[in-house]
Amino acid sequence: MTARPLRRPATEENLRVLRGRRPQRLTLAPWMIMALIGVVAFLGLGFARTSLDKSAFELDQLTRSIAEQGAINEQLRLEIARLENPARIAPLAEELGLVIPGDTRQLLVDLAPGPAVVSVEGEGETQ
């Protein structure tokens, strides 16, 4: 038995073989790019949110610190007012031998260039 070809080979020259379209398979590149963009966007939003939260915590801590320092400042102002009270200072001054002067005299000094002139009010003298 001899094998015969099932078809006769085409011997005509005006015929040619056209390649048919290959069935298109889905490419993964666009989907991978979209997934990568989505992951990067998600991580970027998470990082931005974390940094904003960190800033909010620092701002809250600074606000509390300012409030504490304001309270300390108010206590110090009250302490200064208490220490400057003349009713507290007068007995301490008397213990040290300080007295309130009975009569006061003002000295007027002329600062103009030339001979110095000092006048004492109350006595009418000029030196």
pLDDT digits (tens, 9 = 90+) for 66-122: 999 999 999 999 999 999 998 988 888 989 988 888 888 888 887 877 766 666 665
| H helix intervals, the chain | 29-83, 86-95
pLDDT digits (tens, 9 = 90+) for 17-69: 777 777 777 778 888 999 999 999 999 999 988 888 888 899 999 999 999 99
Q: Letter for the amino acid at 98?
A: L
User: Going edge to edge, which strands form the sheet with 107-109?
Assistant: 107-109, 118-120, 125-126
Domain positions in the chain: 61-98
Q: Quote the CA–CA distance of 125 and 122 in Å, as a whole number.
A: 8
The model scores a pTM over 0.75: no
- How far lies 4's CA from each of 1, 8, 9, in Å? 9, 10, 12
DSSP state of 113: S
